[in-house]
Structure 1
Amino acid sequence: MDINLLYFARLRERFGLAQEQLTVPEGVVTVAGLLAHLAARGDAWAEELAGGKVFRVALDQELVDFSASLHQGAEVAIFPPVTGG
């Protein structure tokens, strides 16, 4: 399954990417599985996605929890929570 990943704010800076196309391995079918797969890249990926830092995920421009199912062609955005004032 191929998906489009978008990274925002500190994640974009830490990963050195604004977006990437990714073919997810078979068996990665949820947002949680995707995050674990990305964290397994190590270094900044593990620190930001598996290190207890707060971030949110949108699937096809809708906020979702980590149990949401992925699908072919999905757009997955990962970003820190937005605060306002």
Structure 2
Amino acid sequence: MINILLFAHLQEAVGESKLTVDLSDVTVAQMKEWMEKHYPQLSLQQMMTAINEEFATDTTIVRSGDTIAFIPPISGG
């Protein structure tokens, strides 16, 4: 099981701030593809990703028990 944290407009699009999915040993890129397939309203390709509170790349492996967070770009002034 992988825990997924969603923030800002991602949370609004899915209607949840946290999801739990029955996946393991997938890359961040595969996780993004899975999310976009199950939640077609999402576009995660430009999102920063963290696994267990550490930034990750698309090739990082997500394992059972991990918490992955998709972090939207932030702008401000």
TM-score norm. by structure 2 comes to: 0.85
1:37 partner letter = W
Q: Is the 2:3–2:19 Cα contact (8 Å) retained in structure 1?
A: yes
Partners of 2:40 and 2:76 in 1: CA distance: 30
Partners of 2:56 and 2:3 in 1: CA distance: 16
1:66 partner letter = D
Contiguous gaps of at least 5 residues in structure 2: none
TM-score norm. by structure 1 comes to: 0.78
Distance 1:68 1:14, change over 3 A: same
Distance 1:42 1:17, change over 3 A: closer
Percent identity between the two aligned chains:
27
- Residue equivalent to 1:34: 31
Higher share in helix = 1
Distance 1:73 1:37, change over 3 A: same
Q: Is the 2:14–2:39 Cα contact (8 Å) retained in structure 1?
A: no
Q: Is the 2:50–2:68 Cα contact (8 Å) retained in structure 1?
A: yes
Shift of 1:84: 4.6
The runs of at least 4 consecutive aligned structure 1 residues that moved more than 3 Å come to none
Q: Deviations over 1:36-68 (max 9, x none)?
A: 1111125313xx23xx5x211100001111110
Partners of 1:13 and 1:79 in 2: CA distance: 13
- Residue equivalent to 1:44: 41
